[in-house]
C-alpha cells in the first residue's frame, strides 16, 4: 500500500521539471496570443464604423470580386479581395451589389443569411440590395462597394 505513495513521490520529483516546461510553453502561448491580439481586432472599442469604411475602401476599381454565376439569387457570396472582406449580393436575378462584410456595430464579419446579410455576433441584419440595417444593434448600413457586371464577372467600379 505504500507503493503508490512512493510512486507519487517520484512523480512529484519530476513535476517541477514538467512545470518549468509548461510554464515556458505557457509564456510562449501568451506571447503569441498578445501578438495576435495586437494585430488588429478592435475588440471592446468597436463602436466606431471607421473600420468598416476602411475595409470597403481597400478595394480598387476594376477588381474582379466574383463570378456572377457563383452569387446565389436572393443571397450573397463572401469574398476577400485585396485584404477586404466583402459580400457580393444578388437580391434579384441579374442585379448585383457588394458591401463591406465588417459589421458597423463592433466589426464582426457579416455573413450571408436567409435572404439578408447576418452578423453572427449580435444578430444585426442587413438588406441584400442596399446594405441598410434591418434589425439589431448596428448603427449604420454596410458600406457599399460600387460594382459593374460584364462577361459573367462582378467587378468593383
Binding site for ligand FES (CB under 6 A): 103, 105-106, 108, 119, 121-122, 124, 136-138
For the CB of residue 46, give the shortest distance to ligand FES in the complex, in Å.
Answer: 7
CB contact burial 19-51 (16+ within 10 A = b; e otherwise)? eeeeeeeeeeeeeeeeeeeeeeeeeeebeebeb
Output 66 or 105, the one with its CB closest to ligand FES.
Answer: 105
For the CB of residue 71, give the shortest distance to ligand FES in the complex, in Å.
Answer: 22
Output 61 or 139, the one with its CB closest to ligand FES.
Answer: 139
Output 75 or 113, the one with its CB closest to ligand FES.
Answer: 113
Output 124 or 156, the one with its CB closest to ligand FES.
Answer: 124
8 Å CB contact between 139 and 146: no
Cα atoms in the 13 Å half-sphere on the side-chain side of 37: 8
For the CB of residue 68, give the shortest distance to ligand FES in the complex, in Å.
Answer: 28
For the CB of residue 104, give the shortest distance to ligand FES in the complex, in Å.
Answer: 8
Residues 20/22/28/29 CA torsion (nearest 10 deg): -160
Q: Which helix (H) or strand (E) holds 89?
A: strand 84-92
Amino acid at each position: 500500500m505504500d507503493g503508490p505513495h512512493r510512486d507519487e513521490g517520484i512523480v512529484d520529483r519530476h513535476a517541477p521539471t514538467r512545470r518549468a516546461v509548461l510554464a515556458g510553453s505557457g509564456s510562449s502561448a501568451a506571447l503569441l496570443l498578445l501578438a495576435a491580439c495586437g494585430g488588429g481586432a478592435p475588440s471592446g472599442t468597436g463602436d466606431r464604423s471607421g473600420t468598416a469604411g476602411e475595409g470597403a475602401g481597400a478595394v480598387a476599381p476594376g477588381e474582379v470580386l466574383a463570378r456572377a454565376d457563383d452569387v446565389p439569387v436572393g443571397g450573397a457570396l463572401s469574398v476577400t479581395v485585396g485584404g477586404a472582406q466583402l459580400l457580393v449580393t444578388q437580391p434579384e436575378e441579374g442585379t448585383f451589389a457588394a458591401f463591406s462584410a465588417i459589421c458597423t456595430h463592433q466589426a464582426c464579419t457579416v455573413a450571408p443569411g436567409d435572404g439578408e446579410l447576418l452578423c453572427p455576433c449580435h444578430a444585426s441584419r442587413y438588406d441584400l440590395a442596399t446594405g441598410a440595417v434591418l434589425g439589431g444593434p448596428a448603427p449604420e448600413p454596410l458600406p457599399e462597394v460600387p460594382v459593374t457586371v460584364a462577361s459573367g464577372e462582378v467587378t468593383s467600379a
